[in-house]
Amino acid sequence: MKRNILTLLTTFIYLLHTNAQPFNVLRLPRQEQLSSERVLQVMQDNEGFLWYATEGGGLCRDDGRHINVFRNDAEHPDILGSNDIACMKQHGQYIIIGTFHGAYLLNKQDYGIRRLNEVEDYHVDDIIVTRNSHWWMTSNKKVYEYSANGILIKSYDTGDKYISHLHEDRDGHIWASQWEGGMLMLQDGAFVPKAWNISAAPSKIIDAPDGKGMWIGTIGRGVVRYIPDSANMTIIEPTDNSVCIDILYHNKRLWVSTTEGLMSFNVGKGLEEIKTNIPTVLCTRMSIDLNGNLLIANANGESFAVCNEQQRRWYEGTIMTRDEANNIRSLYNLSTRPTAIAIDSKGELWFSTGKDIRHVNHGKEETVLSNTHDVSSITFSKDGTMWLATIYGTVMTYKDGTLTTDSYASNEYGDAIQAMDTDTWGNIVMVTDKYVRIYNPTSHTLRQQDISTDDVYWLELQETPPNKHWSQPPHEVIASIQQWIWWVLGTLILIVSVLLYMILQLQRQRKRFLEAMKHETENKENTTEENTILQDKWLQSVIAKVEEHLCENGYSVEQLASDMCMSRMTLYRRLQAATGQNPTEFMRTIRLSRAADMLIKNQMNITEISQITGFTSVSYFCRSFRKMYGISPKQYQSQ
């Protein structure tokens, strides 16, 4: 009897503690930078990036400093079929995107986006990834199954009703809920109807945590327990009459998103409204972040992380805002709002008030360092040393009761250190508005990278430990940069080599043509190559056309192209290929060749010959002749 009473008492105390378990709501950072106030889903990927599916603003990604946006605009009109993002899902290196007009696939390796052409240009209602890494999505009364690398396996017709949600149950079966009421299950390659005896449309489906069937949110009848192949469906009290948008089982609670706000359900003990400061408005799709926090968005365009006091916060590793500082003060019941915080290896909080450093141990707040003014950031290194940075650029260390200024790490410019952290190699990473410094406290060496542009800010973030949004080691970045440089150099060398080869070929062709014209004038025997050039019938016709207008100094390249029935550019390309000369040079070569022929016959003087061959002046004729033949016209005539 005593044992039974003790058991009941213990259970009551446990349930009382569970019901009183504090939940806190933290507004996610950089909300004001989102491209749309209407957020339909917020999600964290496996690298730590936050992604926002917005209505009208495209797909947004929080990179730790500002919001990057993937959407259609005047310069990039075809990135997505629609700037209204209905849903999204991450799998491996891909973000699967469902829009109001078709589905798309974003590759996080290069952030290229391609359309999934098999999905019709309609609203995508839901996306899931099953245990075999296949992607499933529903749009326009169809369900599409894709392989892990984005290849369509099969599309399934689901009848005359639209599908709202998809689900894989614990036995591996694929289920679909219908907007107008009904449940379908995939059997033998087709979706077949299953019993649904409630006059309300099902929405989100999850497995019941006790293993008995599934829990299904409905539009108007709350959450029901659904057992396949059974007509019995029981309403989970007291959720009757609730309009459920989304349901999620997490931390031994059923979370229910309704049109009246977010509620939490202690399994078996009734529904209770969560005691947080979330506005009681419509909450959209819910998800879980890497730290086990519940991520939600509401109709007011605000996104939150719902967590308990044991879980890590979104403010860690970032520059604190006033709202975040107030959250911390309320969460830990601090006497004042902190200006910087850090959690040591024991999970205890250290914070700065702007005037001193305080430590919270078992709920008790004590001052550790007095007269430490304007501390902007605190972090702990692996050996337990506390590092402090100020708005004046001073860096200090505190260990074994001793506070020391590190002159190597402090900057001489007095620039405010806005954030500081330790990386996986023991370096201290410091960020200001102008640059990032990576300091090795063992060797007292510094690396500095200017961040005058946003493009290089990621260098600092890649130095932070895992689960702080970025975790790629620097040596991998250097390797990829080296590969990129070698690829560019190889491409440039190839381009230069091709250009040099083309130039050499043109020079060789030019030399052959000039020699052929000289030999023809002097009645010398041509070599085989030179003879081949002048035997070209098209080239002979062009030479004849120039000779026909030999004495006309106004005969232009445009007229020659017109007489040859081609454009100036076509004439240029063909003459360049045949003779290595442009049309102007070619016409001058023909005129000089015929002038040389007249000089050999010695029938006229140099002035008359220059006029007959179309040169505007004797001096220009003489210069051009010397350039081609190496001697003056008079010397050529005498020889």
Contact 181, 194 (CB under 8 A): no
Instruction: Of 351-360, 511-520, 605-614, give the range with the top mean pLDDT.
Output: 351-360
The answer to whether the peptide bond before residue 338 is cis (omega within 30 degrees of 0) is no
Contact 416, 380 (CB under 8 A): no
CATH 2.130.10.10 holds for 322-472: yes
What is d(CA 383, CA 380) in angstroms, rounded to the nearest whole number? 8
One-letter amino acid at 449 equals: Q
- Asked whether residue 25 carries a pLDDT value surpassing 90, the answer given is no
pLDDT score at 530: 54
**Arithmetic mean of pLDDT, 413-430:** 81
pLDDT score at 33: 80
The percent of residues above 70 in pLDDT, for the chain, comes to 81
CB atoms within 10 A of CB 219: 17
Question: What pLDDT band is residue 85 in, cutting at 50, 70 and 90?
Answer: very high
Question: What pLDDT band is residue 231 in, cutting at 50, 70 and 90?
Answer: low
CB atoms within 10 A of CB 499: 10
Instruction: Of 157-166, 235-244, 424-433, give the range with the top mean pLDDT.
Output: 157-166
pLDDT score at 633: 86
- Asked whether residue 462 carries a pLDDT value surpassing 50, the answer given is no
Q: Where are the beta strands (DSSP E) in 407-531?
A: 419-422, 428-431, 435-440, 445-450
pLDDT score at 3: 40
| pTM: predicted TM-score of the whole model, two decimal places | 0.51
Q: Is the dihedral of CA 276, 277, 280, 286 positive or negative?
A: negative
CB atoms within 10 A of CB 536: 13
pLDDT score at 455: 40
- pLDDT tens per residue across span 326-335: 778 887 888 8
- Angle of helix 583-601 relative to helix 537-548, nearest 10 degrees, comes to 70
What is d(CA 614, CA 592) in angstroms, rounded to the nearest whole number? 10
Residues 6 or more apart from 261 whose CB is under 8 A from it?
273, 278, 279, 280, 281, 282, 283
The domain 492-638: what is its CATH number? 1.10.10.60
Q: Specify the range with the lowest mean pLDDT, choosing from 531-535, 587-591, 610-614, 622-626.
A: 531-535
Q: Specify the range with the lowest mean pLDDT, choosing from 135-139, 182-186, 300-304, 605-609.
A: 300-304
Domain boundaries, the chain: 23-115+276-314, 204-274, 322-472, 492-638
Contact 569, 561 (CB under 8 A): no
Question: What pLDDT band is residue 218 in, cutting at 50, 70 and 90?
Answer: confident
pLDDT score at 314: 40
Instruction: Of 72-86, 170-184, 220-234, give the range with the top mean pLDDT.
Output: 170-184
pLDDT score at 241: 67
Contact 124, 137 (CB under 8 A): yes
Q: Which of 118, 117, 162 is nearest to 138 (CA)?
A: 162
Q: Would you say the CATH fold of 492-638 matches that of 322-472?
A: no
- pLDDT tens per residue across span 39-69: 889 998 877 788 999 988 899 988 766 788 8
